[in-house]
Amino acid sequence: MANNLLQGKRGIIFGALDEKSIAWKVALRAKEEGAAFTLTNAPVAMRLGQIKELAGICQAEVIAADATQETDLENLFRQSMEILGGGLDFVLHSIGMSPNVRKKRPYTDLNYQFYAQTVDVSAMSLHKTLQTAYKLNALNEWASVVGLTYIAAQRTFPDYNDMADAKAMLESIARTFGYYYGTHKKVRVNTISQSPTITTAGTGIKGFDAFFDYADKMSPLGNAPAEACADYCITLFSDLTRYVTMQNLFHDGGFSSMGMSPAFMELLQKNQEE
């Protein structure tokens, strides 16, 4: 279903680890829609993941960058502009990691060094990416930057742990930088709040499988799959959404507007009867 929506556009895609990654699906769709882009991930993910395979499929160069390191980001933007032959039109920030979640520290007993890492990797990295692009004048007018987030930024989902705080900050950075970059150069910045999705980052959350089913039952359209999230990213990178900026956009099958669903009630009743 290619429509050349990104024909002639150049970009950077962060966060494709393996074929389950949301960024992986975005890269495949962006290629299909005619974009040229570089792929990037943290050096450790290069060794563990399959990004080189994706690079082959997309005919894209891979540039290692730890998104918490400004020098890495500067090198990434400079190299990307050189390889792609000019300023950039889109950036996907698809990055998340919490050492507290990984090490199963409950929210009431967080390790603060880990907490700082969670915020640095999962939120501040968006600011660092935007600030680097701003200083290097790396983004063209009407360029589009998209970050991925989760509804735990607005509502409490206890097992999402300190990632909830990081996502709240990520969404705030998108709004505030969206103001500055919008007035400066008509660059737009948005976050997409995605349904639970079966990926490495997603399944690291405690009780993910049960939670995935719960969200699916609560959403009138069911959980949004990663492929549909990729489609949505493409529309935001395209010229069809030029006046959308500073928004947190729910891509969740309707979950965020629900209170209770008969489908979920039915499940509860069945459990009670058993």
Binding site for ligand NAD (CB under 6 A): 14-15, 17, 21-23, 41-42, 45, 66-68, 94-97, 121, 148-150, 194, 196-197, 199-202
Residue among 81 and 148 whose Cβ is closer to ligand NAD: 148
Q: How far is the CB of 167 from ligand NAD (least distance, A)?
A: 7
Q: How far is the CB of 69 from ligand NAD (least distance, A)?
A: 8
The answer to whether the CB of 267 falls within 8 A of the CB of 216 is no
Residue among 22 and 189 whose Cβ is closer to ligand NAD: 22
The answer to whether the CB of 36 falls within 8 A of the CB of 115 is no
As a whole number of angstroms, the distance between CA 227 and CA 231 comes to: 6
Which amino acid is it at 184?
H
Q: How far is the CB of 36 from ligand NAD (least distance, A)?
A: 21
The position carrying tokens 């050349």 is: 4
58 token code pair: 């997309």
- Measured N-to-C along each axis, helices 125-136 and 70-84 cross at an angle, to the nearest 10 degrees, of 50
Q: How far is the CB of 7 from ligand NAD (least distance, A)?
A: 26
Residues forming a β-bridge with 92: 13, 146
Indicate the residue whose CB is closest to ligand NAD: 202
Residue among 71 and 270 whose Cβ is closer to ligand NAD: 71
Q: How far is the CB of 175 from ligand NAD (least distance, A)?
A: 17
Q: How far is the CB of 230 from ligand NAD (least distance, A)?
A: 10
Q: How far is the CB of 165 from ligand NAD (least distance, A)?
A: 13
Chain centroid offset of residue 260 CA: 27
The position carrying tokens 């990004």 is: 51
Residue among 148 and 189 whose Cβ is closer to ligand NAD: 148
Q: How far is the CB of 160 from ligand NAD (least distance, A)?
A: 9
Residue among 121 and 174 whose Cβ is closer to ligand NAD: 121
Residue among 94 and 245 whose Cβ is closer to ligand NAD: 94
Residue among 99 and 183 whose Cβ is closer to ligand NAD: 99
Residue among 12 and 138 whose Cβ is closer to ligand NAD: 12
